[in-house]
Amino acid sequence: MSPRQLIRWQWQGYRHTHASRANLVIHVITVPAFLLGTVAVVYALLTLRGWWAVAGVLAMAAAMALQGIGHRLEPNAPAPFTGFGNAASRIFLEQWVTFPRYLLSGSWRRNSPP
């Protein structure tokens, strides 16, 4: 599946697998941590500073662990990963594209009680 197709697929089911307000709050906190972690890893590679890489990987791992807890609060589980490449691409696209789009577009409001 191409990145464009994967983003479309994620978007179509996102509301269905992100209905919990608690999970939304967890994502609001952890997605920026994941993004900063990714930037820290890239910075570490460009400047050869190992501590930045360690900090970045730890931030990304913590974000994923907390989001895993949030997803257990959902009535509908996301589709299981089919392999490492599928997991990596889905995670990075969700963090960098799908969740920010979901939040900034206001689509999350449709899942929130009045």
Residue range 5-29, pLDDT digits in tens: 999 999 998 988 888 889 999 999 9
Burial (CB < 10 A; 0-12, 13-18, 19+), residue 57, is middle
Read off the pLDDT of residues 86-101 as tens digits, 9 standing for 90 and up: 999 999 999 999 999 9
Question: Do you know the residue count of the chain?
Answer: 114
Arithmetic mean of pLDDT, 60-77: 95
Nearest CA-CA partner of 74 in 15, 23, 12: 23
70-85 pLDDT, tens digit each? 999 999 989 999 999 9
* pTM, to two decimals: 0.88
**Helix, strand, coil % in the chain, rounded to nearest 5:** 80, 0, 20
pLDDT band of residue 112 (cuts 50, 70, 90) is low
pLDDT > 70 fraction of the chain, expressed in percent and rounded: 96
Q: Which residues of 83-102 are buried (b: 16+ CB within 10 A; e: fewer)?
A: eeeeeebbbebbbeebbeeb
